[in-house]
Structure 1
Amino acid sequence: MRWTCQQCRARYAGQPGSGRCLGHLDGMRLFEARCGVDGKRFGRLAYESVHRLVLPRSGAYLLQVNGQEVFVDSGAAILTRPGDELRVAHPLGCGDTFTAIELDPEVSDRWPAPAYSFPLDDATDLHHRVLLATCRQDFDPLAVAERLHAILDRLAPQASGSVPRRPSTAAAHRRLVADAREVLADGRYAYGLTEIAAQVNCSPHHLSRLFRAVTGETLTDYRNRMRIRAVLGELQDGADCLRTLAARYGFADQSHLTRVVRKHLGRPPSTVKRMLG
């Protein structure tokens, strides 16, 4: 495969097809690829080396996992684990496209073995494509991580559980959310989900799920609202350089800042600046 990321190029050198690294999160790696393996019969045996979730986007193929045959198209997600024996055949021709996610083992354990294939409904497929768009635009680590965990929740809802209703537990959850808000209030807007979770001593998935349950919005949306208000304060105090403000508050660049401001306020920063002036 051909890779735009040096680490992925070294990891997947020699494999047929083409690929593009979407980004690395702590414990997880995302990439999109087009398969170049051809042949109507099953190819040679390969051994999986990581916990991997595959979200197909187009095309179809046959996959053997530990001798069990699975038909894969854009209606099914595939999960494999280290040591799985894999064979692939393309009776309809190669060229299928997919997103592959190397998972943290703790995330993979949410699915009971030995299930390999999971239905990919319309809503989850849309979440998947929005995840790709998020990666391609700015790769905001927090936004990407939350979208990814939302997809994992949809694929394994029975594993995510519900928020306990006991008063003591609910209070603990509110305290956890307050601690995460305090991390952001301290000016650490560039932190990703894993970094914020580490600050409050919980797992990224647990924090993302509880934040939505307690506040009714994602951690990403909350973070964006708070840093936009910080930017507005700077503009009102006479700040002039949007590029400097973008860097100060953890945006990928000035255009990313402009898109987020327009999404939340319905106006670009230049218009808001004139209004505040």
Structure 2
Amino acid sequence: MPRTCRQCVARYAGQPGSGRCLGHLDGMRLFEARCGVDGKRFGRPGYESRHRLVLPRSGAYLLQVNGQEIFVDSGTAVLTRPGDELRVAHPLGCGDTFTAVELDPEVAERWPRTAYRFPLDDATDLDHRLLVATCRRGFDALAVAERLHAVLDRLAPHVAGGGPHRPVTAVAHRRLVADAREVLADGRYAYGLTEIAARVNCSPHHLSRLFRAVTGEPLTDYRNRMRIRAVLADLQDGADCLRTLAARYGFADQSHLTRVVRRHLGRPPSTVRELLTHRA
């Protein structure tokens, strides 16, 4: 759902920019923007209205948050909170591009309130760019949510907790994952991470992390495998309209179904259908 996001950009940068919305996710908004402003002096202050995580992709600039100066480049993420005073300068004149995420306040409040900048290592930078690519391919709420939580876990691993668990805790974790699988097995393949988490009474972040820890794969990958198998069953039973199957199993459209099947099976669904229905 791309659209112009100049108001979003201005709210963050306090100066002109151009961008587009990447999508809305459970009360959060993701957008990407380019700022080409050139100026060695800090602009007039602006005030943050949301919890916002900024993930730079290129360029560099100076940012003051509540008077604290930060040099921001593609190796630095920035988290700002409602009420923060922001001032921006571009002394290098190279402009910058970035992705910004309006975070759920419950997620943002787990981060230390005195910290504004977080290092973007190579793995986190790749997760960030995969998040953007996932949005651009067609907004799949579950896939985008898992990509986003992967970035958040890498930026602030202490938030997720860790360490060994008592046996009773491990059992509870396995039960939670089993409950999430039951939700998907009930045919709700279009559910996003928030909907699944609500059905099993836990937070989306907690569910995403536990599912990967218990099963060894992201919830998105598991969901895709299960719904592909549902599609294959229908194809083998004579279904022939891929558009109908895409809608039935929660794909964005027929092209999305084709991409996912090709990625998992190495061939498009039309070829798979011929193989499954061929009679010697």
The Cα offsets for residues 49-104 of structure 1, whole Å up to 9 and x where unpaired, read as 11010000011000011111100000100011111111000001153100000001
Q: Which residue of 2 aligns with 1:156?
A: 156
Matches within 5 A, 1:228-267: 228-267=228-267
* Deviation at residue 37 of structure 1 after TM alignment: 3.6
Q: Contact 2:9–2:19 (CA<8 Å) still a contact in 1?
A: no
* Deviation at residue 9 of structure 1 after TM alignment: 6.1
The Cα offsets for residues 189-239 of structure 1, whole Å up to 9 and x where unpaired, read as 000001111111110000000000111111000000000000000000000
* Deviation at residue 144 of structure 1 after TM alignment: 0.2
Separation in 2 of the partners of 1:44 and 1:244?
A: 53
Separation in 1 of the partners of 2:35 and 2:123?
A: 25
Q: Which residue of 1 aligns with 2:181?
A: 181
Instruction: Specify the code of the residue in structure 1 equivalent to 2:195.
Output: E
Q: Which residue of 1 aligns with 2:3?
A: 5
Q: How many residues align?
A: 274
Secondary structure of the residue aligned to 1:240 is coil
Q: Contact 1:45–1:86 (CA<8 Å) still a contact in 2?
A: yes
TM-score by length of 2: 0.94
* Deviation at residue 110 of structure 1 after TM alignment: 2.2
Separation in 1 of the partners of 2:273 and 2:135?
A: 29
Q: Contact 1:35–1:94 (CA<8 Å) still a contact in 2?
A: no
Q: Which residue of 1 aligns with 2:33?
A: 33
Secondary structure of the residue aligned to 1:59 is strand
Secondary structure of the residue aligned to 1:217 is coil
Separation in 1 of the partners of 2:213 and 2:176?
A: 12
Separation in 1 of the partners of 2:55 and 2:208?
A: 21
Secondary structure of the residue aligned to 1:60 is strand
TM-score by length of 1: 0.95
Confirm whether residue 216 of structure 1 aligns to residue 216 of structure 2.
yes
Q: Which residue of 1 aligns with 2:103?
A: 103
Q: Which residue of 2 aligns with 1:195?
A: 195
**Structure 1 unmatched ranges of 5 or more:** none
| Greater mean deviation of Cα atoms: 49-58 or 33-42 | 33-42
Q: Which residue of 2 aligns with 1:74?
A: 74
Q: Which residue of 1 aligns with 2:269?
A: 269
* Deviation at residue 4 of structure 1 after TM alignment: 4.2
Separation in 2 of the partners of 1:193 and 1:276?
A: 32
Separation in 2 of the partners of 1:11 and 1:74?
A: 20
Separation in 2 of the partners of 1:163 and 1:233?
A: 41
Q: Which residue of 1 aligns with 2:170?
A: 170
The Cα offsets for residues 224-257 of structure 1, whole Å up to 9 and x where unpaired, read as 0000000000000000011110111000111111
- Identical pairs, percent: 84
Instruction: Specify the code of the residue in structure 2 equivalent to 1:227.
Output: R
Q: Contact 1:51–1:105 (CA<8 Å) still a contact in 2?
A: yes
Q: Contact 1:59–1:97 (CA<8 Å) still a contact in 2?
A: yes
Confirm whether residue 116 of structure 1 aligns to residue 116 of structure 2.
yes
Instruction: Specify the code of the residue in structure 2 equivalent to 1:38.
Output: D
Is the alpha carbon distance of 1:9 and 1:250 closer, same or farther for their aligned partners in structure 2, counting shifts above 3 Å? Answer: farther
